[in-house]
Chain A
Amino acid sequence: MSHESIETLLNANEEWAQSVIKDTSNFFTQTATGQSPKVLWIGCSDSRVPESVITASRPGDIFVHRNIANQFHLNDDSALSVLIYAVKVVGFDSSSNGYTSLTVVLVGHTHCGGAAACLKAAKDAAADTGASQPDIPLTRWLSPLIARVQSLDLSACSESEALDKVVETNIMMQVDNICKSEPITTAWADPNAKKVTVHGWMYDLSRGRIDELVYREAQA
């Protein structure tokens, strides 16, 4: 019975593959020759934010990194590897005249469980100073965001306003981190490098809609 969902997934994959072939017989063989996605999406692991579904994208469109609370830590090899790979290795091509460029989108979302966990940890810490957080991967992972939450003045906010504020602040913080990273600073300093822009987006999952919060590019 617990395998029901697995079999459903595998059956759905079979049907999907068949429907794609019926529609575009060489889709998969073409795909196998290489990838040149237009966009790198750094988002949350949350099941409600599957980047390709919510942007109606196809295999080959978006290079993706998803983790708890859409973090980009400057000491995280996982996220840095993805960014390096996107900037330096994969053949991104987002314009018709062959000039290669890369669009990085850092996407946070409403009702983020990771952000909610940080709010709770910050409240617990304030109520019980002296107790430290357990040193486990999830706590370490969220500790930069917890620290940022502790620096915010949420006293006048309702619980849902506070969560929205944390999610938004988080997006700005992660975009800042991305812009400070070596692959981006190098690309922006080099006139011959791939053109890279960085966007901070908020996905409101109660409406299914993405809004752009911030946009960064190389200084002229």
Chain B
Amino acid sequence: MSHKPIRTLLNANEEWAQSVIKDTPDFFARSATGQKPKILWIGCSDSRVPESVITASKPGDIFVHRNVANQFHLHDDSALSVLTFAIKEIGVEHVVLVGHTNCGGAMACIEAAKDRAANPGLSTPLTRWLSPLTALVQSLDLSACSASEALNKVVEANIIKQVDNICKSEPIITAWADPDAKKVTVHGWMYDLAVGRITKLVVRDAQA
């Protein structure tokens, strides 16, 4: 019973692989020789935001890091390793930080911000992970907002904040300071999952 989703996935993988080979017989053999994606996607783990499906991309197109609430913490080795590898080994040209509507992580932070003063609660990996975003929520004035307006405001502020963090990271600062380095642009995007559409919020480049 618990194997049902596994069998479905494995069968689907088999069919997909066969259809790819039928369509492009050397696709996988070429894939095995290396990867040269131009884009690093840093997004949310939310199942409704699979980057390659929503952008109709193929294997090889997008280098990906997904975590709860699309965070980029400056002390997080996981995210920093991905960014370092993407810029220095892979040579990506664009870093897109993608947030989305109806984000459960953002909702959790809104709740935590309300409770925080009253009840510090237990420290778990999840509460620690979300504590910078909870602090960001507390810095916003959401008093005049409905619940859904507040959530959208938090999701948007989160995207801007994570883009800021990325731009302050060593791999980006180094790339932007070096006139011989490959050009890297950082983008902040919002995915509205109620309509399936990405909109651009912010773009950052090396200062000329």
Binding site for B on A (CB under 8 A): 2-3, 5-6, 9-10, 12-17, 20-21, 27-29, 31-32, 34-35, 37-39, 45-68, 71, 76-82, 84-85, 89-90, 94-95, 99, 101, 103, 105, 110-111, 113-114, 117, 136-138, 140-142, 195, 197, 199, 205-210, 212, 217
Contact = CB atoms under 8 A, between A and B. Distances in A.
Nearest to A58: B53
Chief secondary structure at chain B's binding surface: mixed
A138 B81 contact: yes
A1 to B, nearest CB: 10
B101 A32 contact: yes
11 contacts: A5-B93, A12-B57, A47-B61, A52-B52, A55-B9, A55-B13, A59-B53, A66-B65, A67-B78, A142-B81, A199-B6
Contacts of B57: 9, 12, 50, 53
A9 B56 CA distance: 8
Contact of A59 (B28, B48, B63, B126): B48
Interface string B173-204: 00000000001010100000111111010000
B56 A12 contact: yes
Interface stretch (B15-23, B113-121, B137-145, B160-168): B15-23
A65 B2 contact: no
B185 A60 contact: no
A141 B83 CA distance: 12
Contacts of B2: 94-95, 101, 103, 195, 197, 217
Contact of B84 (A29, A82, A111, A137): A137
Contact of A208 (B17, B37, B71): B17
A205 B32 contact: yes
B50 A62 contact: yes
B130 interface: yes
Contact of A82 (B17, B67, B86, B101): B67
B68 A81 contact: yes
A141 B77 contact: yes
